[in-house]
Amino acid sequence: MRKARRSRRKPGKKIVDVTAGLEVLRPHAAGIDVGNAEHYVAVPPGRSDPSVQTFGSFTADLHRMAQWLQACRIETVVMQATGVYWMALYQVLESYGFQVYVVNAKYTKTLPGRKTDVLECQWLQKLHSFGLLNNSFLPPEKIRVLRTYLRQRENLVAAAGTCIQQMQKVLTQMNVQLANVLSDLSGTTGMKMVQAILEGQRDPQRLAALADPRVQASRKEIAQSLEGHWREDLLFVLQQVHDLYFTYLESITACDRRIEAHLKTLEAKADVATQPLPETPRLPRRKHIPQTNLREELYRITGVDLTRIDGIQVQTAQVVISEVGVDMTRWPDEHHFASWLGLCPNNRITGGKVIRRGTKKVLNRAATALRLAAQSLHRSKSYLGAKYRRFRARLDGPVAITAMAHLLARLIYRLLRYGTQYHDKGVEHYERKYRETQMKWLQKQATLFNMQLIPVPGVAK
């Protein structure tokens, strides 16, 4: 009976090495599992005993790791982009002359049930030695510095906007309904009234006299909105939020000065003195818009004027350059660039059928800026504006925005890669081209059904 039972048992599964037979392309490769407190490093077998070692996250530990890798004759290192823990390690390894690969963790998943720090670094080392991992895009050092400044400025602007919301909330709690008569509390009129309230002014008529003549609400309506109950605790909160708001504005100004100084250190591709930029309509002065001449600086370091593309403002161009840089040779063509931004279709197809439509889930500030630029073309009287309105007529709103952002990304790639200038062809050119396309399609359909198109006399084409 025992022999019969044993014969009925299923044979044990053999663990098969799926990488057997693959050619080793990088024999001097190491893998690092990055963590907050410790880093696990794996080198090829035979280089050290043991081949996996653990290092701390302090600076001295990072230098000791780099020296150990040099002793193991390592030339290239791979690690996952884990939070911000990899950045300090990346800088140390790069200073020692290693070729560092930073890869997306989505493409390095190991087998289920075998997730440990030691196995993870060994798996990374094995994949990298066979050349199965692609390096993530990292802009040059000066572009990374510019990106740090701009992201900090973005955080400051968001914090200043939160202060405006808090001031609005406090005023509403005191039943001061400025939101019903002013479109923007952070404007000149709103800040004057808030400052007067904090200085002790309570007369609605005197507060209403501070309103700018351009305010559409009447003085009587403004005075009625300023009749509230002045609670001391809420006034204290209003004072603190008000001071914090102007502190953020000072920090934004300091950040703008640092950005301007750093832009001057970047390599120039055009001379503004010999090739001046054409004049553009002057934008209204706003607190959160950089007051430096960013357009000339961006033209100097790129060699092209990106703001000539309809929908691309100077802030949008600044965000795109700080995220992707000015060297477009990293991507073979404009389609690869749009795919990297997550603006290309990513349909899931199985069995010849599309089971899911959409784009790749990519968190990219440049793609977000291009989507906002595409959305601003709704009323633009330009070639791109007409094309976007045609997209909106055929597609859903989000899909049309993504399609237009994809086109803007391709235009930016062409300008930065080939140094060409953008020229708007106008709405009439687009409409004429669209009519010609529709006419060709109708003629093709008529030929298919053995028919002939006859134009109606007196009707404009």
Confidence band of 279 (pLDDT split at 50, 70, 90): low
Residue ranges of E strands in 231-352: 348-350
CA nearest to 28, candidates 65, 67, 62, 70: 70
Backbone φ/ψ region at 211: left (φ over 0), alpha (ψ -120 to 50), beta: beta
**Locus of tokens 């740090």:** 148
Q: What DSSP state is assigned to residue 423? A: -
Instruction: Tell me which of 424 and 148 has the higher pLDDT.
Output: 148
pLDDT, tens digit (0-9, with 9 covering 90-100), for 149-193: 999 999 999 999 999 999 999 999 999 888 888 888 888 888 999
Among positive and negative, which fits the CA dihedral 104, 106, 110, 116?
A: positive
Can you name the residues that pair with 221 across neighbouring β-strands?
none
Q: What is the mean pLDDT of residues 273-285?
A: 58
pLDDT, tens digit (0-9, with 9 covering 90-100), for 15-47: 455 566 678 889 999 999 999 999 999 999 888
pLDDT, tens digit (0-9, with 9 covering 90-100), for 3-14: 555 545 444 444
Query: φ and ψ at 332, to 5 degrees?
Result: -60, -40
Q: What is the mean pLDDT of residues 433-447?
A: 87
Q: What is the mean pLDDT of residues 331-347?
A: 90
CA nearest to 429, candidates 460, 383, 390: 383
Q: What is the mean pLDDT of residues 339-355?
A: 84
Q: What is the mean pLDDT of residues 433-461?
A: 82
d(CA 220, CA 172): 19
**Residues 66 and 81 sit within 8 Å (Cβ to Cβ):** no
Query: φ and ψ at 42, to 5 degrees?
Result: -120, 135
Question: What pLDDT score does 61 carry?
Answer: 94
Question: What pLDDT score does 12 carry?
Answer: 46
Among 170-179, 388-397, 425-434, the range scoring the smallest mean pLDDT is: 425-434
Q: What is the DSSP string of 29-57?
A: EEEEE--SSEEEEE--TTSSSSSEEEEES
Q: Is 59 exposed, middle or buried (0-12, 13-18, 19+ CB in 10 A)?
A: exposed
Q: What is the mean pLDDT of residues 141-154?
A: 92
Question: What pLDDT score does 10 carry?
Answer: 47
Query: φ and ψ at 83, to 5 degrees?
Result: 55, -130
Question: What pLDDT score does 99 carry?
Answer: 94
Give the pair of three-digit tokens for residue 116: 């440990």
The CA–CA distances, whole Å, from 31 to 48, 107, 128, 138, 373 equal: 14, 14, 8, 19, 41
The CA–CA distances, whole Å, from 127 to 122, 149, 202, 335 equal: 9, 35, 71, 27
Give the pair of three-digit tokens for residue 143: 């572009």
d(CA 330, CA 88): 24
